[in-house]
């Protein structure tokens, strides 16, 4: 089990308290969170996107790493009550200044982001974390691939626990000529893809 030594005491308390309701809010486990935090630092990611905010648990870990790299996070959630809870948790952990929260259906928001990027109103992403509706993973991929820089990373959670539902996603990436992939055997399975 990873420690929370990265974080200031107040953020540690928030994270420990969120871990008590992990199942209710479908949060990633701490080992996966720590790995994503390290991956952002190793990769020096600057512009990250998360699909599936929930109460903000994973977003706090992603944003903590992005504070180290001087980056920022955009996170999408369609459940307004969850987004409100996440915003409060981001504030309590002092990461709200680098997080843009988007409320609505990920598929629609990704289309909006695509036009913003085309118009030069938004930078392409270099790190994407997918953790929303498992049956939609394949659609998220088709929409985020054009928004991801070459050299960028996509990490997708629940790729072992929900293997059947995410099968089209895994197949698309494994067969894609521009992606190098690795499944990591964390609690729910994390599939990491590098856009070459
Ligand atoms: C597994 S939880 C995310 C957990 C979060 N990443 C964490 O580890 O703290 C998935 C979240 O995605 C949201 N969601 C599911 N489908 C969505 C969609 N199509 N658009 C936006 N949000 C969606 C759900 O409401 C839920 O809060």
**Confidence category of residue 2, pLDDT binned at 50, 70, 90:** confident
| Number of residues that make up the chain | 196
| DSSP characters over 66-117 | HHHHT-EEEEEES-HHHHHHHHHHHHHTT-GGGEEEEES-HHHHHHHHHHHH
| Tokens representing residue 56 in the block | 């903000």
Predicted TM-score (pTM) of the model is 0.98
> Atom 11 in ligand 1: which residue has the minimum CA distance?
52
pLDDT class for 3, splitting at 50, 70, 90?
confident
State the distance from the centre of ligand 1 to the C-alpha of 149, rounded, in angstroms: 24
If you classify domain 28-195 with CATH, what class do you get? alpha beta
Instruction: Map out the domains of the chain as residue ranges.
Output: 28-195
Query: In the prediction, which pLDDT does 1 show?
Result: 66
pLDDT of 54 > 70? The answer is yes
């Amino acid at each position: 089990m990873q420690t929370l030594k990265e974080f200031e005491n107040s953020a540690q308390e928030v994270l420990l308290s969120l871990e008590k309701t992990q199942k209710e809010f479908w949060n990633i486990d701490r080992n996966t969170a720590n790995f994503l935090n390290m991956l952002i630092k190793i990769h020096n990611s600057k512009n990250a996107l998360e699909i599936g905010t929930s109460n903000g648990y994973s977003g706090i870990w992603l944003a903590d790493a992005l504070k180290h790299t001087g980056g920022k996070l955009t996170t999408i959630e369609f459940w307004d009550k969850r987004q409100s809870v996440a915003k409060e948790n981001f504030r309590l952990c002092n990461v709200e200044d680098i997080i843009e929260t988007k409320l609505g259906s990920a598929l629609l928001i990704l289309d909006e982001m695509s036009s913003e990027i085309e118009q030069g109103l938004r930078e392409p992403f270099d790190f994407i974390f997918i953790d929303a509706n498992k049956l939609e993973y394949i659609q998220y991929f088709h929409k985020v691939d054009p928004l991801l820089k070459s050299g960028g990373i996509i990490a997708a959670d629940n790729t072992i626990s929900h293997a059947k539902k995410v099968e089209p996603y895994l197949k698309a990436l494994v067969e894609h000529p521009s992606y190098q992939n690795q499944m990591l055997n964390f609690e729910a399975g994390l599939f990491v893809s590098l856009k070459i």
